[in-house]
Structure 1
Amino acid sequence: MSENGEIAKQIINAVGGKENIQSVTHCATRLRIMINNKDKINTDKIENIHKVKGAFYNAGQYQIIFGTGTVNKIYDEVIHLIPHEQPSTKIKQNENKEGPSFQRAIRTFGDVFVPIIPVLVATGLFMGLRGLLTQKEMLSIFNLLPEDISPNFLLYTQVLTDTAFAFLPALVAWSTFAVFGGSPIIGIVLGLMLVNPILPNAYEVASGNSSPIMMFGFIPVVGYQGTVLPAFISGFIGAKMERWIRKHVSETLDLLVTPFFTLLIMSISSLFIIGPIFHSLEQVILDIVIWLLGFPLGLGGLIIGGLHQVLVITGVHHIFNFLEIQLLANTGANPFNAIITAGIAAQGGATLAVATKTKSKKVKALAYPSALSAMLGITEPAIFGVNLRYRKPFLFGLIGGSAGGFLADWINLKATGMSITVIPGTLLYLNNQILGYLLVNFFAISVAFVLTYLFGFSNQE
């Protein structure tokens, strides 16, 4: 048996055997196991298994941290040893019934955005590269001026950077239909209806260059380019409606009746009811976020940078995906990224201090890779494997995050994209912000490292 196969076998035994496992899934860093009886879990035994960087029980799941890449391999070995492993759709149904209702709601919200994030990451990188290639300093290297750039080339770069956000409702509706058991293709079409070129463009209406269509004399109708909530609510209701119609229609008529009535009813309700209401609500949420970020003297960044990693523990930090998407779609910039990057980097700095100071070879073997993982943007190994275990490093990591978040807000750093942070995140700041970004990360790491090294960890631990 391979090393990963042996680890999988030890995990199954430590959680109470195959009969105590209801289902298994995983995210970017954690193996998530639905347990029948959590009293049968031997946490001490699990934490001593090779490659395990921490474990905890949360929202009905026992979560074992391995880190990116490793978790996929362990997951494959675990399901290979559990012949009764459930299909992924049933796993999702079981997960959604477990844990506090608020955490379930946020987890479901996160499930909708996880498949979309890769294209938004790519779009953010395209924005950063376009900013780099059109800088006067960069062009001067090739003896070029901004006016020397081909208009056709700029048009092509606009295709790269604008497409995902212009058709964002289609992506959101597609993913929402998939998560809630509807037909994704219906979700795509419904989402495309929300951004049909026949409708006045939302950006042009916002800038005053166009006017909404007034239906029935009082309902303003526009395209919903760059919006999230209208597509999410429409997708949620549409998926439920499709399933209800399909359940009450004979199989003979299903192909004709179900998509016809789903799209007819949802197009009317989405354009005339859901869209206007939730687009307004979305704007209120965006205004509140901008107001918070507008606190004087960097106070907004200080608060967000200090609290973000607390939310990572609870798993509700996925709500920030919605906020970041909205900031990018409506303002073209994402100040949240630099602030939460400071919180992530600071946890890595605190873990690095533990790794540097400890005399335990086992702690060093865990802390150094966990610190590196944090520098690549994944903090769960650092938080659960090291910092929370010794408590003070986590606290000083939060202080470092506050310090870095304050600085990021104070110097007005704004990313061109989302979802990549710390070292990979440098690609989002190539538009004359790279020095400020590096300074923020260095500051956050330094504060957390120094405080942890001096006051947060004894080398006898």
Structure 2
Amino acid sequence: MNYKKEAQNITEAIGGKDNIEAIAHCATRLRIVLKDEGQVNEDKLNQMDVVKGTFSTGGQYQIIIGSGTVNKVFAEMEALTGLEASTNSEVKDQSSKKLNPIQQFVKMLSDIFVPIIPAIVAGGLLMGINNILTAKGLFYDQSSFIDVHDQFAGLAGMINIFANAPFVFLPVLIGFSAAKRFGGNAFLGAALGMILVHPDLMNGYDYPKALVNGDKIPTWELFGLSIKMVGYQGQVLPILVASYILAKLELGFRKVIPSTLDNLLTPLLSLFFTAFVTFLVVGPVTRTAGYFLSDGLTWLYESGGAIGGLLFGLLYGPIVITGMHHSFIAIETTLIADQANTGGSFIFPIAAMSNVAQGAATLAAFFIVKNKKMKGTASAAGISALLGITEPAMFGVNLKLRYPFIGAIVGSGAGSCFVAATKVKAIALGTAGLPGFISIATGSWLNYIIGMAIAIVVAFIVTIGLSRRKVYREESL
């Protein structure tokens, strides 16, 4: 492949080097901020063998090329345009200027929660393994695996501690990430998170039970104020708001405190005042708001039943196109961290139904289309989507041909309708696709698998059926 020629063709198709504000790349895609996306010749791009798909999201025009090739094309584009490579964060900063307030809010949540996903996923999957080991009736009648094989009891105990740690100390993770995102010192954010889960405080998980039982809540008595000594284990909103306050206080103090005292007084004052205000006002208010949010969403899901699942499943694919699904990470983290009350996340199963439906529709397109390039893209992208990675399938095949995307959202709605009716919930984050069963409560594995089967079969059949309509027949050539 002539990478220099491909880079030249791509540059011309996106309006030339004068239309490029910033450019970077990730593992599979060119990420470009353009001055005017109206100058892009998508037909020309899609005819290139090197291009697997294109889409625009969050102020960035992204061209899917593939692992191992994208870096070579990028290097040639860099030399051709004379532009210095931007980091992904610089491209994000440049593209965020073009976002509306809602998109900026979603991007903020994404910037905070995406970096901590590996820790949450690791803890969640370990929790899933622990549940497999301790679930009664899964392997043996009326007994769990460790009841029968007690030599593994110690291992299960270790895994339980490993699994709970990211959720118990969730404010530390969020504090670090959020303070950094808001422009403050990330380590001060982590320190604030540590304060909120200090072992001398009443455990946040025990607080609701203590209120119900009428148990005495420990307090600090200060100038007539009675401040509750209660931790915020597993809480999202309190540390999120507190980190914002911390960052703004830190930036404010740095402007007024002399440089000779800055390193001494700024961290001290920022941390003290933020922690004080958090325990006094911010924490109690946001904790209550968090309870209302998780309880309200759970009630909505429980009340909506099959109809609610159907609607959410139909909408999930279009939501992904807008990028709004990134805001779900914060909600899912809240639901899973409070699973003792919520039972887990209902969003994950629906996301999985949408992903496998996209994969099934793409594989259906593989059998329909005659274009060799599209066939090659569809085969790899379809399998990838079944495993939970949908970008190549959705943007490289389904949206281009249109009818597979319609088939996918119908399949997603059907599968989501079933998992909602059977109350399938995830107790951990993970890969929302075929391997996602390990994130599901063990008692719901069968219903999760049935839901995926429904989503796959319906998406495949509807896609095949739509392809035979005259309006779509030419697109299959």
Task: Please report the TM-score for the alignment, with normalisation by the length of structure 2.
Answer: 0.87
Whether contact under 8 Å (1:129, 1:430) holds in the other structure is no
Find the aligned partners of 1:303 and 1:218 in 2 and give their Cα distance.
Answer: 46
Q: In the alignment, is the contact (CA less than 8 A) between 1:403 and 1:443 conserved in 2?
A: yes
Aligned to 2:364: 353
Tell me, yes or no, if the aligned pair for 1:359 and 1:460 is still in contact at 8 Å: no
- 1:182 aligned counterpart, secondary structure: coil
Query: Does the aligned pair in 1 maintain the 2:407–2:463 contact within 8 Å?
Result: yes
Tell me if the contact between 2:357 and 2:455 (Cα under 8 Å) persists in the aligned partners: yes
Alignment of 1:416 onto 2:427: yes
Corresponding residue number in structure 2 for 1:435: 446
Instruction: Note if 1:310 corresponds to 2:333.
Output: no
Indicate the residue corresponding to 1:108 in structure 2.
108
Count, aligned residues: 460
Contact kept, 8 Å, 1:56 with 1:63, in 2: the verdict is yes
1:444 maps to 2:455 = yes
Q: Among residues 267, 280, 283, which one is paired with 2:291 in the alignment? A: 283
Q: Distance in 1 between matches of 2:394 and 2:301?
A: 26
Q: Distance in 2 between matches of 1:433 and 1:111?
A: 32
The answer (yes or no) to whether the contact 2:46–2:52 under 8 Å persists in 1 is: yes
CA 83–371 in structure 1, closer or farther in 2 if over 3 Å, else same: same
CA contact (8 A) 1:96 1:108 kept: no
Secondary structure in 1 aligned to 2:22? strand
CA contact (8 A) 2:363 2:378 kept: yes
1:250 to 258, 268, 278: 258
Cα distance, 1:35 vs structure 2? 1.4
Is the deviation greater in 30-39 or in 341-350? 30-39
How far residue 85 of structure 1 moved from its aligned partner, in angstroms, is 3.0
State the superposition RMSD in angstroms.
2.9
Normalised by the length of structure 1, the TM-score is 0.90
Q: Percent identity?
A: 36
- Once residues 142 and 275 of structure 1 are traced to their aligned partners in structure 2, the CA distance between those partners, rounded to angstroms, is 39
Per-residue deviation at 1:10? 3.9
Alpha-carbon contact 1:133-1:139 (below 8 Å) kept: no
SS for the counterpart of 2:115 is coil
Does 2:328 correspond to 1:320? yes
Distance 1:132 1:387, change over 3 A: same
* Aligned AA (1:124): G
1:397 equivalent in structure 2: 408
Q: Is the 8 A contact 1:305 1:398 kept in 2?
A: yes
Q: Does 1:240 align with 2:248?
A: yes
The worse-fitting range, judged by mean Cα deviation, of 211-220 and 448-457 is 211-220
Q: Distance in 2 between matches of 1:74 and 1:225?
A: 46
SS of equivalent to 2:30: strand
Does residue 367 (structure 1) correspond to residue 378 (structure 2)? The answer is yes
Superposition deviation, residue 426 in structure 1: 2.9
Deviation at 1:278, TM superposition (A): 1.4
Report what 2:158 is aligned to: 156
Distance in 2 (alpha carbons) for counterparts of 1:27 and 1:419: 21
Structure 1 counterpart SS, 2:112: helix
Q: 2: CA distance between counterparts of 1:363 and 1:87? A: 31
1:4–1:73 CA contact under 8 A, matched in 2: yes
2-structure distance, mates of 1:329, 1:30: 33
Q: 1:417, CA displacement in angstroms?
A: 1.1
Which AA in structure 1 matches 2:180? A
- List gaps (5 residues or longer) in structure 2: none
Residue 273 of structure 1: which of 269, 281, 297 is its match? 281
State the distance in 1 between where 2:126 and 2:164 align. 10
Structure 1: tracts of 5 or more residues without a match = none
SS for the counterpart of 1:352 is: helix
* AA in 2 matched with 1:246: R
Alpha-carbon contact 1:8-1:78 (below 8 Å) kept: yes
Question: In structure 2, what is the equivalent of residue 185 of structure 1?
Answer: 187
Match for residue 207 of structure 1?
209
Q: Structure 2 CA distance, aligned partners of 1:149 and 1:285? A: 42
Residue 329 of structure 1 is aligned with which of 324, 334, 337?
337
